[in-house]
């Protein structure tokens, strides 16, 4: 029995911080996990930028509420759910501002993190529920005798992809592709759905899959 483990930003939805960057014009917020694999370091940097520029949690929620899932993502999830009812979203984003987007994806289980907010509505600090939680979630599912297909796009997804029986990179940056040529690269949600369905039906990854590199 299979479980599908999806990263969220860059795979199912646009990068939230890049949308905030677009709305605010702050160049510092262009940095994501594609460029900075140390997530603690990245989040501390982001929170500092928000405070210095008077951006509150509600501003983040407003940005997310105005966003839409990536084209084809919702349809792909709905179709895959008919094939495999166990779909889990494993993301290093934060439920305090990301909930409006989770609602648009459908009623799927989401494992994520949370934020501590001060009395003035500013983000005070990030609270990681569990270090390397994506990999540990996959390993826990395997402990329950499920096989896992993991889909991600960034450096912080690699440990999850390595732990899963099948790991897939979806629209990764060139830097990620060059660093991890062992994973197939898929650029389209319809193709991703077909790939996953073939794995579920045959029990193995397609032999003709494109590899990074």
pLDDT of amino acid 213: 42
Q: How many angstroms separate the Cα of 115 from the Cα of each of 31, 56, 94?
A: 19, 12, 7
pLDDT of 167: 97
pTM of the complete model = 0.88
Pairing of strands 166-170, 185-186: parallel
Which residues have a catalytic role annotated?
7, 9
Q: What integer is the mean pLDDT of 10-16?
A: 93
Token pair 């579920």 in the structure block, residue: 200
pLDDT in tens, 154-176: 988 999 999 999 999 999 999 99
**pLDDT category of residue 211 using cuts at 50, 70 and 90:** low
* Average model confidence (pLDDT) across the chain: 92
For residue 207, is pLDDT > 80? no
In 3D space, the residue among 166, 169, 158, 163 whose CA is nearest the CA of residue 197 turns out to be: 166
Q: Are 3 and 85 in contact (CB under 8 A)?
A: no
Q: Tell me the C-alpha distance between 16 and 8, whole Å.
A: 10
> Which CATH number is correct for 1-213, 3.40.30.10, 3.40.50.1000, 3.40.50.2300, 3.40.50.2000?
3.40.50.1000
């Amino acid at each position: 029995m299979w479980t599908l483990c999806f990263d969220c930003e860059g795979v199912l939805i646009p990068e939230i911080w890049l949308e905030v960057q677009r709305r605010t014009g702050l160049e510092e917020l262009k940095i994501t996990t594609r460029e900075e694999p140390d997530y603690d370091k990245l989040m501390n940097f982001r929170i500092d930028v928000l405070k210095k520029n008077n951006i509150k949690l509600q501003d983040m929620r407003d940005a997310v509420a105005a966003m839409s899932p990536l084209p084809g993502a919702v349809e792909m999830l709905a179709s895959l759910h008919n094939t495999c009812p166990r779909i889990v979203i494993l993301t290093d984003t934060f439920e305090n501002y990301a909930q409006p987007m989770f609602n648009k994806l459908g009623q799927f289980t989401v494992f994520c993190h949370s934020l501590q907010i001060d009395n003035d509505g500013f983000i005070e600090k990030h609270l990681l529920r569990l270090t390397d939680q994506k990999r540990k979630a996959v390993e826990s599912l395997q402990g329950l005798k499920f096989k896992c297909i993991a889909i991600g796009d960034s450096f912080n997804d690699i440990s999850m992809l390595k732990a899963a029986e099948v790991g897939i990179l979806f629209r990764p940056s060139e830097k990620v592709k060059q660093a991890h040529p062992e994973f197939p690269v898929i650029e389209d949600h319809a193709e991703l759905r077909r790939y996953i369905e073939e794995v579920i039906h045959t029990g193995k990854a397609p032999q003709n899959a494109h590899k990074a590199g």
